[in-house]
Structure 1
Amino acid sequence: MKENVIISLADSNYFELLDELVESIKIFKESEKTAICILDAGLTEDQKRILSKKVDEIKSAEWDIEVPDFKIKGKEWLKSQVSRAFLPKYFPNYKKYLWIDADAWVNSWEAIELYFKGCENKKLSISTTADRAYGRVLRAEWFFGSFARIKSQNYKHAKSSGFSEKIARKVALKPHLNIGAFALEAEAPHWNIWQKNLKTALKSGKIWGSEQIAMNITIYNDELDVEILPAYCNWTLIEALKFDKNKNTLVEPYLPNHQIGIVHFAGKNNDQIRNNKNFISKVKTVDGDEIEMKLRFNKN
């Protein structure tokens, strides 16, 4: 029995991305000791048949927390915002659970090892959207000279999701935890607290982003243990990536140009890449050159 598992979710529209994620995991020999499980949020029978030959198990995602139909509007893939908080329920008997969004792929197994190592001793292992290469992490609305109104993702989402002003302020200036990749042990206390906060978020706010603000509140307000990993473990600022010709891999833009662990096409800025696997991106190299390349995973 494999102790650790990597889990993702997709509908039929994200199948190609999901399949690339699975292939990017399996290309590493180390993956032979790690299970891969899939939550189905609208895959076709043919798609599930293809995946079943590559992964350990596929199960249908559910609305683990009741959500009004007017919020769902037929978007069954939004189950990803709920079901990821219930992973041990879907796939029991594993020790460590690593979630990776379907629009991501694994470039270095080191990141996988860090996620699993980081969640030991019942901690959440996760990275943030704050990094030296990412630039602005807060917005300020300036008025009356030197006075400004600070705007943060955590504060905005906490308020719109029905959390108190006190909680919203407590999490407002904290680095935003990116739930697109995270790891937890089966017995970690985070699951129950996260689910509780998620119920609050889903009751008052939108489904999209609910699981992320719920986890940020779980860590920063409920003060559960966390191991914050480097941004290269879950890299989302795709336009800032660089390519190392000598090592033939994608790296951070600044020294020491560490190899990117997970390439994550999150956000509207990456729509073109997500929608077209043959999209050509202009990528700077560490030696000052610029090349054109496809950034979607290709095992060839």
Structure 2
Amino acid sequence: MTTNGSFIIVTGGDARYEPLIRELIASVRALEPGAACPIGVIDAGLTDEQVARFRAEGITVVNPPWPVELPAHRLRGRVHLKANLAKLHLPACFPGYETVIWIDADAWVQDWEAIELLRRGAAKGRFAIVAQFGRFSETELRLDWLFGRFARVRSILFKNASRAGLPGSVCRDLATRPTLNAGAYALRSDAPHWASFQDWQKKVLKKGRIFTSDQLAMAGAIYLDGHPVELLPEWCNYIGPWRFDPDKRELVEYYLPNRRLGVVHMAGEDAMRADPSVLRPVLDMDDREHMLSLRYPAWAKTGEAVAATAR
């Protein structure tokens, strides 16, 4: 039984991702609406000590069973993949909430308005998520040119659907669809989408990649099964290009109106996720380049250090 209007923010990962999980939680707690927000963590390889610390801080930690049976040679000891698979079973992992909001551990919340939009989208009975296309994408569709005007589609969904051995008609239908960024989304616990996600997950995992199976299953449920979706603006799950406002000390959209980012998602920043001392070039509002970290602690205490790195 759910509580009217209740929601939980859920993330997950293994022992290596524990620092990032903590940074995400800290970013939520630092915003006034998030101070008392229920938070859940999928244990996908955390140590006993890490689990104990989370629980002592009031965080709900769940170590779910593998939702789909996979042979050991496919898992290759990658326990962290349990978080990817569990993302499509969240109401069962965290019962009692009207809405579940998932945020990847390599992301953090800068503006609570992104959480509000996720909740509002879910309240409409729709799958609230950001699609990876539009003015911040360098290309809408990747093509391999064969000869003359003939080319082969190389989109993310097409490649993953083909690798998963899905029927040709399905691969073609997904070929030009934008990828739904599974790094942040919200959905009512009683929405029919979940069953559809899980059905597609079983189909995809017969041959497909485990890591990207969640995004492919979501695409099947939305684009092929026709479940309603609420596509949110990019700043609700932003993956670059990067710009910051040194006066307001915040990360913003690269192009006008340079809106404050809601969820900062470090997708593709492998070195930075592993090492908080790693920096990357980020432009300020006057296109001056700065070497900065995108991780939450750097933005929780920016100060004069930001301006001092301009070059």
Class of the TM-score when normalised by the shorter of the 2 chains = over 0.9
Q: Structure 1: give runs of 5+ residues left out of the alignment.
A: none
The equivalent residue for 1:243 is 244
The equivalent residue for 2:107 is 104
The equivalent residue for 2:280 is 281
The equivalent residue for 1:192 is 195
Choose 131-140 or 174-183, whichever is displaced more: 131-140
Map Cα deviations across residues 100-131 of structure 1 (whole Å, 9 max, x no partner). Answer: 11111111111111111111132100001113
Distance between the aligned counterparts of 1:205 and 1:223, measured in 2? 22
What TM-score, normalized by structure 1, do the two folds share?
0.95
Alignment partner of 1:252 is 2:253: yes
Judge conservation of contact 2:39–2:60 (CA < 8 Å) in 1. yes
Distance between the aligned counterparts of 2:231 and 2:56, measured in 1? 34
Structure 2 counterpart of 1:181, one-letter code: A
**Distance 1:205-1:143 versus aligned 2 partners, 3 A rule:** closer
Structure 2 counterpart of 1:80, one-letter code: A
Cα shift at 1:137: 2.9
Distance between the aligned counterparts of 1:119 and 1:185, measured in 2? 6
Matching residue within 31, 55, 66 for 1:63: 66
The equivalent residue for 1:28 is 31
Matching residue within 86, 91, 96 for 2:94: 91
Cα shift at 1:292: 2.4
The equivalent residue for 2:306 is none
Distance between the aligned counterparts of 1:219 and 1:225, measured in 2? 7
Structure 2 counterpart of 1:180, one-letter code: G
Distance between the aligned counterparts of 1:283 and 1:144, measured in 2? 38
Judge conservation of contact 1:25–1:106 (CA < 8 Å) in 2. yes
Structure 2 counterpart of 1:280, one-letter code: L
The equivalent residue for 1:262 is 263
Q: Structure 2: give runs of 5+ residues left out of the alignment.
A: 302-311
Alignment partner of 1:227 is 2:247: no
Judge conservation of contact 2:28–2:108 (CA < 8 Å) in 1. yes
Distance between the aligned counterparts of 1:36 and 1:290, measured in 2? 36
Distance between the aligned counterparts of 2:291 and 2:58, measured in 1? 33
Number of equivalences = 296
Structure 2 counterpart of 1:101, one-letter code: D
What TM-score, normalized by structure 2, do the two folds share?
0.91
Matching residue within 139, 149, 167 for 1:136: 139
Distance between the aligned counterparts of 1:158 and 1:83, measured in 2? 20
Map Cα deviations across residues 14-60 of structure 1 (whole Å, 9 max, x no partner). Answer: 11111111111111110135210111111112212222233431111
Distance between the aligned counterparts of 2:92 and 2:84, measured in 1? 15
Match of 1:183, SS?
strand
4+ long deviations beyond 3 Å: 53-56
Identity %: 36
Cα shift at 1:62: 2.0
RMSD: 1.4
Matching residue within 189, 197, 201 for 2:204: 201
Structure 2 counterpart of 1:249, one-letter code: E
Distance between the aligned counterparts of 1:119 and 1:133, measured in 2? 24
Match of 1:51, SS?
helix
**Distance 1:194-1:112 versus aligned 2 partners, 3 A rule:** same
Distance between the aligned counterparts of 2:295 and 2:107, measured in 1? 9
Distance between the aligned counterparts of 1:41 and 1:288, measured in 2? 40
The equivalent residue for 1:164 is 167
Matching residue within 58, 81, 84 for 2:84: 81
The equivalent residue for 1:14 is 17
